[in-house]
Amino acid sequence: MSDIGIKQLAKNLGISTASVSRALSNPDRVSTAMRKRVQTAAKLAGYRPNKMGASLRTSKTRNIIVIIPDISDTFNSGVIRSLERTAANRGYSVLFGDTQGIRELEITYGDMVQTRQADGIICFSHRLPFTDEDMASDSFKMPPLVNSCEYIDAAQAGGHIVPLVTIDNVKASRELTQHLIDLGHIDIAVITGDISSPSTTQRLQGYQQAMLSSGLPVQQQLIYEGTYTLEAGSTITKEILLAKKRPTAIFCMCDETALGCLYALKEHNFSIPNDISVVGFDDIKFAQYFSPALTTIAQPVAEIGQQCVEVLIDIIDGKEIKKPMVVLPHRLVIRDSTGPRPDR
């Protein structure tokens, strides 16, 4: 803990700094005697190599910057935890940038690779964290970057391929909708996420596909634009209840929204699933404790986080990536918030 540097340590031992460095970070390039001597001396003196110095020399920071619109979102939290864990195992630290969806902040955090504060980026947004200006420049070089859960349009990315770790949103959404259709539901309302995000679009697609392939009409007035929040679920559900012809099922595009939805329904004395069925998406840890327990799509949170980091590190290490897209399996979890369509 004493503020000792490699030079001082070398001097104490009467050897060169090179030997110290080797003994500590490349132990096999040095004799056993030397290795032991240096290592014990280092421990004794409480020597801690200054990572700044090392980083400057090697131009590797062993940091990963995670750019995320809302770090306190429950689904994200799960992924984050896994990210951090995997990164730590691989010898990387994780920095977080919570952007609140603000473009300017995205750019700021995106810049951290350029300024050598991080070796790569994991992004939870559908936009790249670089200015159009930067990306248009012909000297632009895409830094190591992996996207989590949100597809980035190749056009927006200026032709760059952005690796992606995700589930198949279309398919998951189709299955979830099909589950409702199988229960006899015909009028199925949807509360979407932010309409600008591809995950929302994809889930909407899945919904439409399921409806059409069962010969059911897609009713535009049943599609409500929301956000991935509790509040949206609550307020929009009230709106839905005011409709002349009420749906018998509500598809919420995330679990938080579904909780808001359940809340509003119960507030108005609807019985779930007897009067109205509700489904969510994500399977956050609370979902099974909701009342009623929520039918939803479970995303493999831990695997998503892990894969993001693995792929990113591969890119950082300059390895060839076979597939730019990792699609992980989801799971339809049927609980108590869905039931047969009520007779009218």
> Which residues contact its own copies (rule: CB under 8 A)?
1-2, 46, 48-53, 55-56, 59, 61, 63, 70-74, 77-78, 80-81, 84-85, 88, 93-98, 105, 108, 111-112, 114-117, 134, 137, 139-141, 230, 234, 259-260, 262-263, 266, 285-286, 289, 291
Residue 323 binds which of its own copies, DNA, none (CB < 5-8 A, kind-dependent):
none
Buried/exposed code over 209-223 (b: 16+ C-beta within 10 A; e: otherwise): bbbeeeebeeeeebb
Residue 331 binds which of DNA, its own copies, none (CB < 5-8 A, kind-dependent):
none
What are the residues binding DNA (CB under 7 A)? 5-7, 14-22, 24-26, 29-34, 47-50, 52-54, 56-59
d(CA 197, CA 309): 22
Residue 21 binds which of its own copies, DNA, none (CB < 5-8 A, kind-dependent):
DNA
d(CA 268, CA 286): 22
**Residue 19 token pair:** 């030997």
d(CA 176, CA 180): 7
Residue 161 binds which of its own copies, DNA, none (CB < 5-8 A, kind-dependent):
none
Minimum Å gap between C-beta 71 and its own copies is: 5
Nearer to DNA, 7 or 285 (CB): 7
d(CA 320, CA 174): 33
**Residue 310 token pair:** 């693995």
Helices (H) and strands (E) in the chain, counts: 12, 12
Nearer to DNA, 115 or 269 (CB): 115
Minimum Å gap between C-beta 317 and DNA is: 14
Residue 234 binds which of DNA, its own copies, none (CB < 5-8 A, kind-dependent):
its own copies
Nearer to its own copies, 214 or 268 (CB): 268
Cα-to-chain-centroid distance, residue 325? 14
Nearer to DNA, 5 or 292 (CB): 5
* CA distances to 41, 61, 110, 144, 329 from 52, in Å: 22, 8, 21, 21, 40
